[in-house]
Amino acid sequence: MNEFWEDLVSGEIQYRDRFQFEMKSEMEPGDRGETVSQTQEFYFFVPSSLQINEKTYTKEQFYNDQMNMIRFKTPIFALRELMDLQNRKSPLTRLKGLLEDKQSYDALEIIEDESKLLANIIRSACRREVLDLLLAPHESEPVLAFTRDLKRFLNDYRQLVDAYQHQWPPETLHKHLHYIEAFMSHQVDYYLTGYLHEMRKRQDPNLPTTDQPICTLLVDEQKLREERLGEKRGVKANSFESELILYRNGLLKKFVSDALQLNISRYSFTQTFNHLIGAFAAGVAMLLYVSLLFWYGSNFLINSAPFLILSVFLYIIKDRVKEWLKNASLRTALKWFPDFTTKIQTPNEKITLGTLKESFGYVKEETLPQEIQDIREKQFHTVVDAFKRRETVMVYKQIITLNAFSTLRTARRMGVIIVSRLSVDYLLNKAGSPFHQYMALDPQTREVLMTHLPKVYHLNIIICTTTHRTGTPPLYDLKKYRLILDKNGIRHIDQIRAQNKEDI
């Protein structure tokens, strides 16, 4: 698995680690202040050999394996837009303006927020630019221009940090700005090093023109991080310093992500109404018990043995009726209500941006919508097309609603990203050995060759997305993915050619 490319090419389903993948949904608020709704249905086609069904993999287990993260979408800026002093939306421009403002606690909060937002924007800009450079025909000038812009931007930010150290007294602010400096320097190091590695593999004849400037920038950044931030240069294997590299980078990533995080509160229908359903079932069962006891008990003496036996018998019936009513009412209610509802709010909880409703269940293949069946049969399988595969179909449904938050119309953080992270560890409990012995006869030497071939499973996923906006017809989209799994986890993720409903 090429993790660098997985990071660059961000799709709706993305590799996270050996046992986890992410399903990402993006939404933008309406242009005219209207509410926007998006329904996404994730159909999971699980091979029957993994023995997954409603009893072995329950709804509770699915939600234990699943986790949601909701944040603002990173604003898109080019490097030159960030360095443009006339661009009032640029966090760098705003930080330069705040330098001369009156020092206060409110101003300090704004500085910290703008610097974190700047760090997120730089990471996104580096990822986007490096991907464009790798996909485009290799030319020296775009690469050199990008390298010059990065060097100029980092120098501008460091000059700004030094100015704040002289004019703003809080030591905590100085540490904050240095953390941002470290994060951005590491992001530049990561993406440029990855670009250099990919281009050297291609052995492009134009590479010598760009190789030296990139190497010079990377070495200079290592030196500056050592001088200004006290970091050790290079990766030292089997040393305490090497253990800290990923740990420190992970902390920095969490630190800057605060600028995009949203406040969420998740609750389920059963948590809210389970007691009411139980009380309703108990009340109906008790009414039945008392009615039957009065009806039949009048034929016996209260202190007689037949009356005692009747009372016990009716109590057993009452208890079973209560449990049956409770379970039946809960199952019926769950058909009409989502499993979980998440309220999405701004960090200060003053504005509710929208809601996320989630549901999970199993469906039979013959009850699937026709277009889903067509894609599963015609688009995914390329080996033994006529063979009818036995699969278990799980469906995870998200209904995302964004309200009209017009008070934020002039803000830069508008779009919302919902990332659902799902673990496949439990799904692979019944998976076989990742390698099987395979024998074949060599046609030349007539020797029997022994080798080990990978034993894999295909977890096919179809994503059906429907977007509703006021005054426009619904937008319908289908995407297909395949997770290649073995006992050790996810080997890779393939995206099948996308198509619209009209093309089916």
Contact indicator for 68, 420 with CB cutoff of 8 Å:
yes
pLDDT band at 163 (very low <50, low <70, confident <90, very high): very high
**φ and ψ of 438, to 5 deg:** -130, 135
* pLDDT > 70 fraction of the chain, expressed in percent and rounded: 80
Report the greatest alpha carbon distance in the chain: 106
How far apart are the C-alpha atoms of 89 and 75, rounded to whole Å? 10
The DSSP bridge pattern shows strands 435-441 and 352-363 to be unpaired
Which amino acid appears at position 467 of this protein? T
DSSP string, 172-202: HHHHHHHHHHHHHHHHHHHHHHHHHHHHHHH
Tokens of 383: 């080996």
Q: Is 51 left (phi over 0), alpha (psi -120 to 50) or beta?
A: left
Q: Is 246 helix (H, G, I), strand (E, B) or coil?
A: helix
Phi-psi region of 390 (alpha: psi -120 to 50; beta: other; left: phi over 0): beta
Which range has highest mean pLDDT (122-136, 287-301, 320-334)?
A: 122-136
What pLDDT does residue 303 have? 67
471: left (phi over 0), alpha (psi -120 to 50) or beta: left
Give CA–CA dist 8/25, Å, rounded.
17
On the question of pLDDT at 382 being above 60, the answer is no
Report DSSP state, residue 261: B
Domain assignments of the chain as residue spans, ordered by start: 25-73+346-503, 79-259, 264-336
Across the chain, mean pLDDT equals 82
CA dist 181 → 155, 174, 494 (Å): 10, 11, 36
pLDDT of residue 103: 83
Q: Can you give the pLDDT at residue 500?
A: 47
pLDDT tens figures, 221-246: 999 998 888 887 665 555 566 677 77
SS3 341: strand
3 state SS for 131-143: HHHHHCCCCHHHH
The answer to whether 13 and 493 have CB atoms below 8 angstroms apart is yes
Give me the pLDDT at residue 270, please.
61
In this prediction, residues 478-482 reach a mean pLDDT of 88
What local confidence, expressed as pLDDT, does residue 127 receive? Answer: 92
Pairing, β 36-47 against β 457-468: antiparallel
Separation of alpha carbons 392 and 49, rounded Å:
10
| pLDDT band at residue 454 using 50, 70 and 90 as cut-offs | confident
Query: Quick one: average pLDDT of 418-436?
Result: 90
Phi and psi angles of residue 481, each rounded to the nearest 5 degrees, phi first: -135, 160
